[in-house]
A and B are shown apart, each in its own frame.
Chain A
Amino acid sequence: MKSDFDLINRIEAYLTGELSPEEHAEFDQLRKQDSAVDLKVVEHQAFIQQISEYGMQKQLRTDMESIHEQLNINSIKDEVLPAKFKVRNLWNKYRLNTAIAASVAICAVMLTLLSSGYFNKSITSNYSALRREINNIKRSQNQLIKGINDRPVSGPANPGQFGGTGFALSANGYIVTNYHVVKDADSVYVQNSAGESFKVKQIFIDPAFDLAVLQIIDPGFKSLSDLPYTFKKNSSDLGEDVFTIGFPRDDHVFNKGYVSSLTGYAGDTVAYQVDISVNPGNSGGPLLDNKGNVIGIISGKQTQTDGAAFAIKSNYLIQSLASIPQDSLVDKLVLNKKNSLSGLSRTDQIKKLKDYVFMVKVY
């Protein structure tokens, strides 16, 4: 080991020319005589060469790297490339990324629009195509159908899958409610204030205005006495006091408020915006003014906003009813023209009204 160390030192000195001429000549002599030493010299020289080449190349790389950093690549690119080449290359390179980004953007936009209820107006007219989506929107938009299935079942009767409110259009058993309350229903029943249930048939739906007309077909049903309220033909005024009766739970619930805007959700001219507290189950309930005129039908509320419920204007109800072909009706549907609520106190009005407001149970 010691001798090898000395030998290497001598070889290095020999190679770098540090030896005196006599020593150099002596070493040359040694190389000639001893082939092992000679081999060692060659080997060592090659290896040192290897290291220095490595060093050189590394230095070269570092130098180039620093030169490269000084370059303005983009300006060189512009110089060497015709514009179309660049675009095509970018397109080729980023095609996939663009596609992904675009689809993500579209999804995000759709989801946002969907969750903000943007499609609310158009879905009704494109009903069949967007059937599934409608469902989602109905949920997210807090349409006032009451989900009954999560409540404890009391009593023998099946409480129904969904509930809403409806009210009489005429004494002979026509009832109006929201289309979204009875949509997709297998069968629909209404329950009056006495707790009696009657089977009803959907005789007319108007998805565009979110209206459905039902008729009681139960043999146990006897005609109601004359309706106490009338249907207002023209538009109501801003700020008008209004009230409603509905079935957000299993009993009549009264709420009052005022007309806060003459247009509904997202500028919908079919509806009013009403500042009134309504809850799931109030859908389809009558909205009445102080004189006891029905001015609208509660249909929904905005989830993110306080005090923004919506009611479909009564003149659209009248318009919609007028489009029912009379010969398709078994009994004549004649709207009441005589108001017997006007001038009564609110409590008396409600007492009279109660019998004409029904809970709609959907199975």
Chain B
Amino acid sequence: MSKKIKSSVPEDKELIIGILNDSKDTLNRIYKNYFPMVLQLVLTNNGDEDEAKDIFQESVIVLYNKVKGGNFELNSKLKTFIYSICRRLWLKRLNQKSKNSSVDITDFDEIISVEEDLEHHQEKELKFQQMEHALVQLGEPCKTIIEDYYIQSKSMQEICEKFGYTNADNAKTQKYKCLQRLKKLFFQKLG
């Protein structure tokens, strides 16, 4: 029925170490090796390539969160994990698309249960969106200060120079105010 995807499958352990080390190469390999499988799944089940991309990227995020969360036990192949996540996500989308007709899906691989991971992912996704929203509302220069300090891990001195504050203490005060506002915005949304 369908062609088998031929590619040199990377060692799962290698990949997991790569994920933990934020290796760009690892991400590249994961993407190139597993995206075709997901594209195949989505295209054969009434989707298009953009939808395949969305689904696949979401599954990679789930994988990264799981691995980095430290509770990843490799009791299945990485490929199967990604496939199962994508399959579940795609089924969900199909159900949303066609509300009353039952959805049948053509499978290409074995699957494992990923309900728990997805529930966890949904929470994270919600928080991600809240954070994004809060940061947008926060506005400049606060957004950049927060991102530089807490995400890029830049020193207070660098931020001070970048934004032209007279001394690091002023920058610190500014950062403090920004953080307080961000907290407020974030938890406001949450509540």
Q: Which residue of B lies closest to A93 (CB)?
A: B48
B40 with A5: CB separation less than 8 A: no
B35 with A54: CB separation less than 8 A: no
Return the contact of A61 from the options B57, B124, B151, B183 (Cβ within 8 A). B57
Q: Which residue of B lies closest to A55 (CB)?
A: B151
Return the contact of B53 from the options A55, A68, A89 (Cβ within 8 A). A68
CB distance from A106 to the nearest CB of B (A): 28
B151 with A60: CB separation less than 8 A: no
Q: Which of B59-95 contact A (CB under 8 A)?
A: 60-61, 64-65, 68
* Distance of A89 Cα from B28 Cα, bound (Å): 29
Q: Which of A50-70 contact B (CB under 8 A)?
A: 50-61, 63-65, 67-68
Q: Which residue of B lies closest to A78 (CB)?
A: B3
Q: Which of A5-45 contact B (CB under 8 A)?
A: 5, 8-9
**Among A79-87, A108-116, A126-134, which stretch is in contact with chain B?**
A79-87
Q: Which of A152-187 contact B (CB under 8 A)?
A: none
Inside 8 A of B5's CB, which chain A residues have their CB? 79-80
B131 with A64: CB separation less than 8 A: no
B46 with A57: CB separation less than 8 A: no
B60 with A55: CB separation less than 8 A: no
B31 with A51: CB separation less than 8 A: no
Question: Does chain B have a CB within 8 A of A96?
Answer: no
Given contacts A67-B31, A68-B31, A80-B2, contact A5 B183 (CB under 8 A): no
CB distance from A300 to the nearest CB of B (A): 54
Q: Which residue of A lies closest to B125 (CB)?
A: A57
A5 with B127: CB separation less than 8 A: no
Count chain A residues whose beta carbon lies closer than 8 angstroms to a beta carbon of B. 35
* Distance of A50 Cα from B3 Cα, bound (Å): 42
* Distance of A8 Cα from B173 Cα, bound (Å): 11
A64 with B27: CB separation less than 8 A: yes
Q: Which residue of B lies closest to A74 (CB)?
A: B49
Q: Which residue of B lies closest to A75 (CB)?
A: B36
Question: Does chain B have a CB within 8 A of A102?
Answer: no
Majority secondary structure, B binding face: helix
Inside 8 A of B53's CB, which chain A residues have their CB? 68
Question: Does chain B have a CB within 8 A of A71?
Answer: yes
Return the contact of A63 from the options B24, B37, B132, B135 (Cβ within 8 A). B24
Question: Does chain A have a CB within 8 A of B32?
Answer: yes
Task: Tally the A-B contacts, defined by beta carbons under 8 Å.
Answer: 104
Return the contact of B36 from the options A9, A54, A76 (Cβ within 8 A). A76
Given contacts A73-B49, A82-B3, contact A60 B43 (CB under 8 A): no
Q: Which residue of A lies closest to B152 (CB)?
A: A55
Question: Does chain B have a CB within 8 A of A77?
Answer: yes
One digit per residue, 1 when the CB lies within 8 angstroms of any chain B CB and 0 when it does not, for chain A 95-122 equals 0000000000000000000000000000
* Distance of A329 Cα from B186 Cα, bound (Å): 100
Question: Does chain A have a CB within 8 A of B163?
Answer: no
Question: Does chain A have a CB within 8 A of B137?
Answer: no
Majority secondary structure, A binding face: helix
A51 with B151: CB separation less than 8 A: yes
Q: Which residue of B lies closest to A61 (CB)?
A: B57
A48 with B150: CB separation less than 8 A: yes
Question: Does chain A have a CB within 8 A of B167?
Answer: no
* Distance of A238 Cα from B146 Cα, bound (Å): 92
Q: Which residue among A5, A54, A79 has the maximum number of chain B CB atoms within 10 Å of its CB?
A: A54
Inside 8 A of A63's CB, which chain B residues have their CB? 24, 27
Question: Does chain B have a CB within 8 A of A92?
Answer: yes
* Distance of A330 Cα from B172 Cα, bound (Å): 117
B3 with A52: CB separation less than 8 A: no
A80 with B128: CB separation less than 8 A: no
Inside 8 A of B173's CB, which chain A residues have their CB? 5
Inside 8 A of A73's CB, which chain B residues have their CB? 39, 49
One digit per residue, 1 when the CB lies within 8 angstroms of any chain A CB and 0 when it does not, for chain B 119-163 equals 000001001100110010000000000110011100000000000
Question: Does chain B have a CB within 8 A of A47?
Answer: yes
A57 with B3: CB separation less than 8 A: no
Q: Which of B18-39 contact A (CB under 8 A)?
A: 24, 27-28, 31-32, 35-37, 39
User: Which are the 4 A-B pairs with shortest beta-carbon distances?
Assistant: A55-B151, A80-B40, A54-B131, A51-B150
Between A and B, 18 residue pairs with Cβ closer than 8 Å are A48-B150, A53-B65, A53-B124, A53-B127, A58-B132, A60-B27, A61-B61, A64-B31, A71-B35, A79-B36, A80-B3, A80-B5, A80-B36, A80-B39, A82-B2, A86-B43, A89-B46, A93-B48
Q: List 9 other contacts, CB 8 Å, given A54-B132, A77-B43.
A: A51-B182, A55-B151, A60-B64, A64-B60, A68-B53, A71-B31, A80-B37, A81-B2, A82-B2
Chain B contacts to A: CB under 8 angstroms: 1-3, 5, 24, 27-28, 31-32, 35-37, 39-40, 43-44, 46, 48-49, 53, 57, 60-61, 64-65, 68, 124, 127-128, 131-132, 135, 146-147, 150-152, 172-173, 176, 179, 182-183, 186
